[in-house]
Each structure stands twice: as C-alpha cells, then as structure tokens.
Amino acid sequence: MNINQDKLVKIALNAKVDHPRVSGFYVGYDGKGRMPIGTGGVVYSHAIGDSCMNIAGDHIEPGVSMANAGPKENHALETFSCVGNEVKILNGEQKGKTGYVSGTHGGVDHTMACFPPDVIENMDGTETFLIKAYGQGLKLLDHPDVHMMNLDPDLLAAMPVREENGALSWPVVTIVPAHLMGSGLGSQTMMEGDYDIMTQDEAANKQYGIDKLRFGDFVAIQDHDCTYGPHYLRGAMSIGVIVHSDSFTSGHGPGVCVVATTKKEGRIVPRVEADANLKTYMEGIERL
C-alpha cells in the first residue's frame, strides 16, 4: 500500500507498570454494588486472543498497563504510541525482552503492551519500558478520504487490507451499529484512548457477535466518523481494535482503539473474517 513512510517520525517514549487502584464500591447498570478487579498492573490470566467477555473483572487490560508519572509525559505516551509498536523491557529479570503495544485506554490513561506468556509470567510489576513510537501521521496516499491513526505501518503491511475498486476492504470480526457505541462519545480526539461498545442489551450482544469478542479483535463501527472525535455520521465507517474487557458500568463495554476512519460512504468496506485479530497479524511481522 502506498503510504508516506519516508515522512513518518519514530521516537522513544518511556513508561512503567502502572499499579492498580481501588477507591471503593461502585454501582453497575443493574443496580448492584461491586468492587471488581479493574485496570492496571500486570495481568497474568488474560492475553490478546482471549475472550474479553464474561470476565470476573471490569475494564480488564490484557498484558501490561503502562503509564508515565508526569501527566503531560503520559499524554504523550498515550497519544504517540501506536498499536503494533515495539516495546522493550529495560530492567528486571526480563530485561531486553520485547513485546508490542496492543492499544490505549482513555479515562485511566493507560497504554497497554503484550509480551510472550513466559515473559509475562516472570514479570513482577516493577518493570520500566522503552516504546518505539511510530505511526501517527500515517497517510494512505491513494486513499485521501481515509484518515489513519494509532497504527504501526509494519502492522498495516502485515494485515490483509485490500485495495478494491478505489476502496479499502478491511478484515473485521463483526460490524457494530452506531447506536451501540457509548462511553467516549464527545471526545475531541481518538489519537488518545478508546471508546466503548455498550453491552447492556444481551439480545444485541448475540445479534452482532459482541458476546464472542476477544482482546485484539478488529471491528468496524458503522455510521461513525472518528477523524476529530467520535460522532454519528450516516455512511461513515471506522475501524478499531478491542483493547479492554466488558464492564458492569452503564454505557460501557469492550473498548475500541480506532485505527482508521472515513466520512465517505464506501471508502472502507468491512470484510468479516473470524481470525481478524491482532495476535494473527503480529505473527507476520519479522521484527517480532
């Protein structure tokens, strides 16, 4: 695919494991108070490719939740990191081991990374990281109506995105209708964080395959333009990757980190494929 690769900037970012926090009970959409395991830390039990639904937790982030202690520095980490970027461990028993960015999570302002299972198992939560941020500013030179963000060019090259009749045929596991998108609407940018699929309607979850979503799944969001923040626009189409688990909270659910969006009808055509998952495509990148 013809991209502006020679114009893109690759820079170093630093982060640490961000410890989980608890502030007390909160009430779910069903009126029940809960204190579930939530965001932060190193998650040993769930990884990219695993189900993100029906977990005994809330907004679970697979792998490692990273942050920088400085607020502005952390915003830079979350904004400039792209899905697929290389992440290197700088200290501890797993020093030198590498993984990749799996997404960003707004509100809690985390950047997530995944590593091989043996590396994750031997992490202790005190690790620091180097992220080679690369991809913001990516343009598809032959598709000016498609706005790209949050995607490493090497990952894009490894994905079976096809150019067909002036449009992009993009692999996804399902197509989510606009009315099911919730928390995160009204954000000024999707270059930092995500927004959620609402899962409070069980019939809709089954109808659209949301009940089968996995961490790392690519999904299409119908009639949503996310160029400068997500909003309804008939005919628009956005593509994103699932970055955190379902939630008990009203208006929340699996988080979508947007990687491509267009205002123009027919410029992105989603193609449903069962294996349209980050784990599938990252295996095709030689540097990993």
- Angstrom distance (rounded) from CA 74 to CA 80: 10
Query: pLDDT, tens digit, for every residue of 37-80?
Result: 889 999 999 999 999 999 999 999 999 999 999 999 999 999 99
Reading the block at residue 31, the tokens are 């009126």
Beta strands in 71-161 (DSSP E): 86-89, 98-105, 110-114, 128-134, 146-148
Q: Which amino acid is at 52?
A: C
User: How confident is the prediction along the chain (288 residues), in pLDDT tens digits per residue?
Assistant: 899 999 999 999 999 999 988 888 888 888 888 888 889 999 999 999 999 999 999 999 999 999 999 999 999 999 999 999 999 999 999 999 999 999 999 999 999 999 999 999 999 999 999 999 999 999 999 999 999 999 999 999 999 999 999 999 999 999 999 999 999 999 999 999 999 999 999 999 999 999 999 999 999 999 999 999 999 999 999 999 999 999 999 999 999 999 999 999 999 999 999 999 999 999 878 665
Map tokens 């970012």 to a residue.
13
DSSP 281: H
Provide Rg for the chain, Cα atoms: 18
pTM here?
A: 0.95
**CA-based end-to-end distance of the chain:** 21
